[in-house]
Amino acid sequence: MFLFGDGKRLMEKRKPRVLFILCMVLAVFYMSGCAAEEKKEEQKADKTGKADVRETEETKPEVFERQAGDIAAPSTAGALHVEGTKLCGEDGSPVQLKGISTHGLAWFPGYVNEECFGQLRKEWKANVIRLAMYTAESGGYCTDGDREALKELIREGAAYAKKQDLYVIIDWHILSDANPNGYLAEAKEFFAEMSAEYADADHVLYEICNEPNGGTGWSEIKSYAEEVIGVIRSHDEDGVILVGTPNWSQFVDEAAADPITGYENLMYTLHFYAATHKEDLRGRMTAALDAGLPVFVSEYGICDASGSGAIDEEQAKQWMELLDERGVSCVAWNLSNKEETSAILLPSCGKTSGFEKGDLSDAGNWLYRMLTGEGEPIAIP
Ligand code: IDC
């Protein structure tokens, strides 16, 4: 403000008093802001009837300094929901999940342990773990698998994820059973049980059909999804649900043209393997997002679609740039030491936690560098 003549002199004379009044006004503003914050906390506590279960000593997740303010996690972003094409935290800000999927739980149960999840969270900066439970194949939930043992592994995985401050995806991993309707009754029963158990869990997401394939069309997937979503919603009214799309979860454009209505917090999955799926599939994803479809990459690899073959770093880079640009969440396949390119551990690594640099495959090294943003591969004492 520019003052001239008398006005300026008057201002000079009254400077101390003006300054004093200004300070008082600022102090009042600051104090009323604090009161409003306290009020908000109280309201939050009232709504749940308790201060916040996450804050009791027993359930409080460890806080990792490297992570603080860095990536979204259940302790900071809370329960997730979907707004437009975006996955968002409790306060409405967009959240991008990045992490890793287990291999088939029945085949590689050992990696479901708290130390392993803790290392992925703390050192790898993952904020999500996907628990892949095959439904068919040998040991599958709907074929000859031990259902109780598989559900117990999921419960343990979900508990470790909570303790280690990770989101967790419960994945109904259809594959050789190309059409999810083949095991519709089993899926409904399974998700009824899971959603009843995790109705109040902020960190759990449901993936209801990994990869429909074998010519299964969107209308068949959609009708399956509507049934299963109905069951989940009767227990868990707002948990995020991931729906597979035709052709091994690639044809998101078909879902975009005819999305499921009547439910909130749904996302549609797109899977890619960078050495096989390139510009074409990126185009499908972009078009679906532009059409308003919330897309979630719940599985990807940087090798070819068999889960093996050579790594294509250049294509992987292009995928990651696009995912980051659009804020799309992504989960890498897979947490195991199987002799295949996509496994992040070398077959020689017999450990199920405490991984060191020499334990990692090329895919493991790449994932570590990608998640941490560090050029150097893992360095653990
Ligand atoms: C692959 C595993 C492999 C296993 C095979 C069949 O990497 O060890 O023998 O399944 O069970 C997918 C599937 C995922 C596949 C993966 C690689 O979702 O189950 O895992 N892939 O083929 N879609 C595209 C690729």
Cβ contacts of 355 within 8 Å, gap of 6 or more: 119, 345, 349, 364, 378, 380
The whole-chain average pLDDT of the chain stands at 87
Q: Annotated catalytic residue: which of 137, 207, 254, 299? A: 299
Q: How far apart are CA 10 and CA 8, in angstroms?
A: 5
pLDDT digits (tens, 9 = 90+) for 107-165: 999 999 999 999 999 999 999 999 999 999 999 999 999 999 999 999 999 999 999 99
| 340 CB near ligand 1 (under 6 Å) | yes
Q: In angstroms, rounded to a whole number, what is the distance separating the alpha carbons of residues 173 and 165?
A: 24
Strand partners, 210: none
Peptide bond into 127 cis (omega under 30): no
Q: What element of type H or E holds 36? A: helix 15-48
pLDDT given for residue 374 in this prediction: 78
User: Which whole number is the average pLDDT over 75-95?
Assistant: 97
Residues paired with residue 366 on neighbouring β-strands, in sequence order: none
pLDDT above 90 as % of the chain: 79
Distance 125 CA to ligand 1 centre (A): 24
Residue 46 has pLDDT above 60, yes or no: no
- Identify the residue whose C-alpha is closest to ligand 1 atom 17: 307
Q: What is the mean pLDDT of residues 16-45?
A: 46
Predicted pLDDT at 252: 98
Q: Higher-confidence residue: 79 or 36?
A: 79
Work out the pLDDT band at 106, boundaries 50, 70, 90: very high
Q: Is pLDDT at 360 greater than 60 in this prediction? A: yes
Q: Provide CB contacts within 8 A for 115, sequence distance 6+.
A: 353, 354
Site to probe by mutation for ligand 1, drawn from 175, 300, 304 as the one with most ligand atoms within 8 Å of Cβ, is: 175
* 159 pocket-lining for ligand 1 (C-beta < 6 Å): no
Is the per-residue pLDDT at 240 higher than 70? yes
Q: What are phi and psi of 196, to 5 degrees?
A: -70, -40
Is 299 assigned a catalytic role?
A: yes
pLDDT of 375 reads 59
The pLDDT of residue 67 is: 38
pLDDT tens figures, 183-235: 999 999 999 999 999 999 999 999 999 999 999 999 999 999 999 999 999 99
Whole-number pLDDT of residue 309: 98
pLDDT at 363 over 80: yes
CA angle 249, 302, 113 (to 5 degrees): 85
Q: What is the mean pLDDT of residues 245-272?
A: 98
Q: Which residues contact residue 315 at a Cβ distance below 8 angstroms, ignoring those fewer than 6 apart? A: 274, 275, 278, 302
Mutate-to-test residue for ligand 1 from 100, 171, 342, highest number of ligand atoms within 8 A of CB: 342
Tokens 């309707």: give the residue.
181
Q: Is 236 touching ligand 1 by the criterion CB < 6 Å?
A: no
Q: How far apart are the first and last CA of the chain?
A: 60
| pLDDT (mean) for 343-370 | 96
Q: Which of 114, 86, 299 is nearest to 209 (CA)?
A: 299
User: Which among 235, 210, 236, 234 is positioned nearest to 224, based on CA atoms?
Assistant: 210
Helices 313-326 and 362-372, packing angle to 10 deg: 30
Tell me, in angstroms, the distance from the centre of ligand 1 to residue 306's CA.
Answer: 6
CA of 210 relative to ligand 1 center, distance in Å? 11
Contact 242, 297 (CB under 8 A): no
How many beta carbons lie within 10 A of that of residue 130, not counting itself? 28
pLDDT over 50 at 64, yes or no: no
CA distances from 208 to 23, 226, 232 (A): 58, 11, 10
268/120 Cα distance (integer angstroms): 25
Tell me, yes or no, if 211 is annotated catalytic.
yes
pLDDT at 372 over 80: yes
> Which residues touch 25 (CB under 8 Å, ≥6 apart)?
none
> What is the model's pLDDT at position 213?
98
pLDDT level of residue 18 (50, 70, 90 thresholds) = low
Q: What is the mean pLDDT of residues 350-363?
A: 96
Instruction: Please return the burial class of 66, using the count of CB atoms within 10 Å of its CB with bins 0-12, 13-18 and 19+.
Output: exposed
Q: For residue 145, which phi and psi values (nearest 5 degrees)?
A: -75, 160
Structure confidence by residue, pLDDT tens digits, 117-126: 999 999 999 9
Percent of the chain with pLDDT over 70: 80
Task: State mean pLDDT over 18-28.
Answer: 54
Question: Residue by residue, what is the 3-state secondary structure of 60-87?
Answer: CCCCCCCCCCCCCCHHHHCCCEEECCEE
Asked whether 176 lines ligand 1 (CB < 6 A), one says no
82 lines ligand 1 (CB under 6 A): no
- Between 53 and 109, the higher pLDDT residue: 109
Please determine, for residue 380, whether its predicted confidence score (pLDDT) is greater than 90: no
Q: Which residues contact 28 (CB under 8 A, 6 or more apart)?
A: none
Phi then psi for 286, rounded to 5 degrees? -60, -45
What does residue 121 show for φ and ψ, rounded to 5 degrees? -75, -50
pLDDT at 41 over 70: no
Check if 361 has its Cβ closer than 6 Å to any atom of ligand 1: no
- CB burial readout 288-312, b (16+ within 10 A) else e: bbeeebbbbbbbbbbbbbebbbebb
Ligand 1 centre to CA of 281 (Å) is 19
pLDDT confidence of residue 57: 41
**308 CA to centre of ligand 1 in angstroms:** 9
Q: What is the mean pLDDT of residues 230-251?
A: 98
Is a pLDDT exceeding 80 seen at residue 54? no
Give 297-324 pLDDT, tens digit per residue.
Answer: 999 999 999 999 999 999 999 999 999 9
CA-closest residue to ligand 1 atom 2: 307
pLDDT of residue 373: 87
Q: Which amino acid is at 373?
A: G
